[in-house]
Structure 1
């Protein structure tokens, strides 16, 4: 038996798992198919498991049932030499969860990762690059909206800025997730963990979404994806959802064309919107609710108001 890990693009099940028998192989595959619903987490965990088990094989471990805490600790130490602390902690979490699953399935007698500690990591401020209000306005204004692709790109960026939406939630939207309620346009988002979230549109976002829907004619396809690729050989939208990698390439291209030097990402717009909201008198509690954060501590990672203070203080160094 040599099954593959579904939905991950991964190689066949590692040899160390197959060495423990068919039940181990099936249980291993079930971990990725059944226990993890988020596709990004699934891919990250599959890469971590594959890397760890390949390393174990190279270290002379004969089967997944023979993995010991010392093996996990040695691999984690190796990972800290090349990866950031958050990346290593995520990989350790993947190994812990995998072995928990194998323990409950009676494949291995104990979890060798349970006693292994990851590298310490304390975060008080996020690392996502943020645009100031002028740069965000410049980026939106520089987009040529005489074409469907321009209308789409402006609407997508504005959605992430004004609704604090994650790019994954934005790209998962259907056309009917933009709707009228209380005489205002609203958007419906499905955030991490399957949490549904709806909020009214800022007047600028409302105008951009209306222009996008009316200018591209996709309003007649309510169950179709809201943000779509461009059909090959045409200048018209297809029926295929825009992939996240394409969205990232788009925002980098738009930023370059607008003369913005900040190395932005899709997450930049979420942090930009939250910071702008707080600078204009918004509360941290309301920002957390709008961003669909479970805790204001998470929202604080996106609050970059102190960056302005730091810049002002640096300029006091007169030499």
Structure 2
């Protein structure tokens, strides 16, 4: 609380928040500390709120209590000129949630963002680049698994492909999140919103995880991170969890070495696995359950089977 009070007295706070007084400053900081649990959402909301309040200060708004719907609407209109519709809608959501929090805390009398409409946006297909089965196998087979790094990278990529795991959930796993049940290897994932998700391993993933755990000697460190960084100059795994940025750099490096031209990222493997599953007769409902999606509409964004149909149709244009 002492730190919150110090910050609320004008330090590290947007000017328009500090101008509203200490109580407003504390309530503002509590929004990010208490109301938002997901660290990714917290960062995204902090960027959006910071940009909006800096714009307000430049537009002559003297205090956060003086923000009106017209200010929010003008800022949203400005955002639509440089950002995509989903990004603008996320920014508007951040402003709405912040002012809802301030209304409940009796800092402001009403939510100025409540009546402001964001840009319309309907997504029927996701933008995540997807590999076909041949490219995915090409990438996995190109990894040199005679080293701990190779064993780690192959296991991580295979986990995302065969269990539809988000990279954040994969990197948050501990060694004991890989376990035996009904004579089969299972994985335990902690997905978005704190949801715990367990599923059996595909036989290929099972083989890769066994090879990784046995080949690196981390199987007995049950409470340690499953995917780890490498100690500088040794080539051996450390006890530090692998950061998401490092995983992305690894994926890009492995794709380049394998001759995969598609500009892929960590999320590519989740979409690749779901598409491969559906192409081989899997159902959308089961895919949603395996991916831990609350709705099949979300899963449909990862279904890229129509891409091949579209390409086949385009090739019919003969001139």
State the TM bucket, normalised to the shorter chain. over 0.9
CA contact (8 A) 1:2 1:13 kept: no
Q: Which runs of 5+ in 1 are unaligned?
A: 5-10
**Are 1:126 and 2:126 an aligned pair?**
yes
Q: Distance in 2 between matches of 1:225 and 1:316?
A: 51
Q: Check whether the contact 1:175–1:225 (CA below 8 A) recurs between aligned residues.
A: yes
Residue 233 of structure 1 and its aligned partner are, at CA, apart by 2.3
The RMSD of aligned alpha carbons is 0.9
TM-score, normalization by structure 2:
0.97
Offset at residue 2 of structure 1 (A): 5.1
Aligned to 1:7: none
Equivalent residue number for residue 280 of structure 1: 280
Q: Does 1:3 align with 2:45?
A: no
Match of 1:290 in 2: 290
Secondary structure in 1 matching 2:118: coil
Work out whether 1:42 is the aligned partner of 2:32.
no
Quote the residue 1:185 is aligned against. 185
CA shift, 1:57, in A, is 0.1
| Structure 2 residue matching 1:219: 3-state secondary structure | coil
Aligned to 2:262: 262
Moved over 2 A (4+): none
- Residue by residue over 1:88-145, the C-alpha shift from the partner in whole angstroms, topping out at 9 and shown as x without a partner, is 0000000000000000001111100000000000000011000000000000000001
Q: Contact between 1:158 and 1:208, CA under 8 Å: does it hold in 2?
A: yes
CA distance in 2, matches of 1:267, 1:248: 9
Report whether the alignment pairs 1:216 with 2:216: yes
Offset, 1:41: 0.3
Q: What stretches of structure 2 of length at least 5 have no aligned partner? A: none
**Residues 171 and 227, structure 1, Cα contact 8 Å, conserved in 2:** yes
1:18 aligned onto 2:18: yes
SS at match of 1:128: coil
Instruction: Give the number of aligned pairs.
Output: 313
User: What TM-score does the superposition give when structure 1 sets the normalisation length?
Assistant: 0.97
Structure 1 residue 198 and structure 2 residue 198: aligned?
yes
Q: What whole-Å deviation, never above 9, does each CA across 1:160-213 have from its counterpart, x for those lacking one? A: 000000000000000000000000000000000000000000000000000000
| Cα separation, 2, equivalents of 1:2 and 1:81 | 37
| CA distance in structure 2 between the aligned counterparts of 1:81 and 1:69, rounded to whole angstroms | 19
